[in-house]
Amino acid sequence: MKTIDALLAEGVNGKRVFVRADLNVPLADGTITDDGRIRAVLPTVKALAEAGAKVVVASHLGRPKGAPDPAFSLRPAAERLGELLGARVAFAQDTVGTAAHDTVGGLEPGQVAVIENLRFNAGETSKDDAERAEFAEQLAALADVYVGDGFGAVHRKHASVYDLPAKLPHYAGHLIATEVGVLKKLTDDVKRPYAVVLGGAKVSDKLGVIDHLLEKADRILIGGGMAYTFLKALGHEVGISLLQEDQIPAVKEYMKRAEAKGVEFVLPVDVLVSPDFPDLKTKAPANPTTVAADAIPADQEGLDIGPETRKLYASKLADAATVFWNGPMGVFEHPDYAEGTKAVAQALLDTSAFTVVGGGDSAAAVRTLGFDENAFGHISTGGGASLEYLEGKTLPGLAALEN
């Protein structure tokens, strides 16, 4: 995989460089609530602009249905990129139409433009190879060189991620090169003990990575909504907690395999429960109760790991040499159910291990809860992409950059 360093050595002055970024930031009433993904692409955009490239930044945002939708406009992201760069960033109000061509055509060396949401065109996400290829051809007309730097999208076989690199000289940006280098440390020649912390709502989202990591990890700690399927598999009452009954056989099989391989599965020993899901808008006091993990009342819902589990998990991470964490331990958006996630984040900071926060809600939680991002070994920008890489899957966007 050729990287941006090789491109910069070749020279980009005056060239139109298409940067496929991941500006898929969360918005609330048009305001960005977490700009982490925009900041992640800054090193690549800055390096290209400073080398005299005409930088064309493209991304998706949300899930518009193949047509323009103001609710998913990239304009707020373009404005924030300009603020972070300390320079004006032009914005094209379409993807491959007149506005895009005029905006790109008006760039001087060292200037940056953002084109509108790629998913406003049905060709971006089409399952039809010909339709995707046609859209990729239209995008290629805007550039001389392609730089892939949207790690959060490399697991998607989309036009701007998979088809476009084949039509232009292509390179991996700083972010993708960094992400791949970090993930290799979690799969090749791993320093041990290797501890994995998995949380989030659905166990089905994590079965693939559990399957793969059973061959690599020394211990796997489970939290979040997915923990209740594990507890149910052990025969415990889980009340009205999140539960995927259909995954219980798979969970039992994984626990059996882990025991045979000497991989330690660590489950909650106590949980915070409530009869009502918390109001995340008002964040009104929830007044949870702490109960043993095997004594959840039938009319209560588990919403966070308890204090004893927090201590247990911290002890299981204390001597680790490598830690990968993906998924919160509870409903961290509400202060009454954030302590479990805080405890795991703090445990990562307290260890001397190489620590990786695997994107998605985990990365959002780290920022929301006020932790210093730079204190962690690495915070990934792609939750789904990170998990699929760790599952051993071929990621279309990376394969396209390697070809």
Is 202 annotated in the active site? yes
Is 384 annotated in the active site? yes
Q: How far apart are CA 154 and CA 384, in angstroms?
A: 9
The contacts of residue 241 (CB under 8 Å, 6+ apart) are 225, 228, 273, 296, 300, 301, 302
Is 356 exposed, middle or buried, given 0-12, 13-18 or 19+ CB atoms closer than 10 A?
A: buried
Is 370 annotated in the active site? no
For Cα atoms 195, 201, 205, give the angle at the middle one, nearest 5 degrees. 70
Is 239 annotated in the active site? no
How would you classify the pairing of strands 301-305 and 270-274?
antiparallel
* DSSP-assigned letter for residue 303: E
CB distance 70 to 93 below 8 Å? no
How would you classify the pairing of strands 194-198 and 219-222?
parallel
CB distance 340 to 330 below 8 Å? yes
**Which residue in 212, 223, 193 sits closest to 254, CA to CA?**
212
Q: Active site residue: 173, 306, 327, 360, which one?
A: 360
3-state secondary structure of 230: helix
Q: Active site residue: 15, 37, 157, 310, which one?
A: 37
For Cα atoms 326, 266, 224, give the angle at the middle one, nearest 5 degrees. 45
How would you classify the pairing of strands 289-292 and 270-274?
antiparallel
| DSSP sequence for 154-191 | TTS--IIIIIGGGGS-EEE-HHHHHHHHHHHHTTSS--
Q: Active site residue: 39, 75, 202, 367, which one?
A: 202
Is 280 exposed, middle or buried, given 0-12, 13-18 or 19+ CB atoms closer than 10 A?
A: exposed
Residue carrying the six token digits 């699929």 = 388
CB distance 132 to 371 below 8 Å? no
Q: Active site residue: 123, 152, 327, 384, which one?
A: 384
**Which residues does the annotation mark as catalytic?**
37, 202, 360, 384
